[in-house]
Amino acid sequence: MKNNMKIGTTYRSHIERSRNVFVQCSSVGDSSTALRMTKGTINKILIYARFIICLMGGITLNTQAFAQKIITETFEEASGKGLYPIGKVNTPLGTWTFDGALVTANEPTDFRPKAPRMLASSTPDEPAGSITSDFDIPNLKSVKVGFIGFKADPGYFQIEVSVSRDKGKTWESLGTSRGRYDKAAETFATFQVKDEGKKQSYRLRISNDSAPRLTRFNRINLTLVEIEYGK
């Protein structure tokens, strides 16, 4: 994003400077000197325009994830993580920390391949499995989460969504959502950011807030994380 802004500013400054020169040259008259300067200025504008057009082709690909107001993360293109202990997972959107969570393409009990699986907590006082963004989301407005529990696991299952404005030092819960009791289909829940109008940047955490079990086997698959943000 910073590269986009820098390039755009440079381009505008070149165009503005060239335009001023063009106006000054035009006001002098039809002298050969003025004409040469005018042609040179036009050539410079064309060169800058071609350069920016070519460059923007590459920039659009690199910043496409944050070029729109709604971003969808399914983790289907995520790097694999086959164990529950804390570790990093890379996706096209950025890097996430998986703690008590994994993502794998070859686990038949998951709702679908590459649907992150999170464990419940072992007791009410222990942390539950979670995934946390290692990147900041500008002016986050809402988060929509799709999830489903494992049919073999007893007890209720639900998720909690939290946000941090200080890069993960402190967290504020946006609420919880309990999934379908029969676990026959996904549940979708949307969480609104309470102070989204203050133009803050947020990190995002999604936790398995299901009924605690000593085995931690109140497992949840995440199927969708949809992030809405604005300027």
Q: Where in the chain are the domains?
A: 2-62, 69-229
**Strands (E) located in the chain:** 70-73, 87-90, 95-99, 101-102, 117-118, 130-133, 137-138, 140-149, 158-164, 172-178, 187-192, 201-208, 220-229
Contact 146, 221 (CB under 8 A): no
User: Mean of the pLDDT values across residues 162-170?
Assistant: 96
Of the listed ranges 69-73, 82-86, 194-198, the least confidently predicted one is: 194-198
* pTM value surpassing 0.85: no
Alpha helices for the chain (secondary structure H): 2-28, 32-62
Contact 143, 133 (CB under 8 A): no
Q: What is the mean pLDDT of the chain?
A: 78
CATH 2.60.120.260 fits 69-229, yes or no: yes
Query: Tokens 């803050």 appear where?
Result: 200
Confidence of residue 230 (pLDDT cuts 50, 70, 90): confident
The tokens for 215 are: 């085995």
State residue 196's pLDDT score: 55
Which SS3 state, helix, strand or coil, does residue 140 take? strand
Flag whether pLDDT at 67 surpasses 70. no
Distance from C-alpha of 42 to C-alpha of 26, rounded to nearest angstrom: 12
User: What contacts 94, CB < 8 A, 6 or more positions away?
Assistant: 65, 133, 134, 135
Dump pLDDT digits (tens) for 74-85. Answer: 999 999 999 999
Distance from C-alpha of 170 to C-alpha of 96, rounded to nearest angstrom: 17
State residue 155's pLDDT score: 85
The tokens for 136 are: 């900041």
Share of the chain above pLDDT 70, in %: 69
State residue 70's pLDDT score: 93
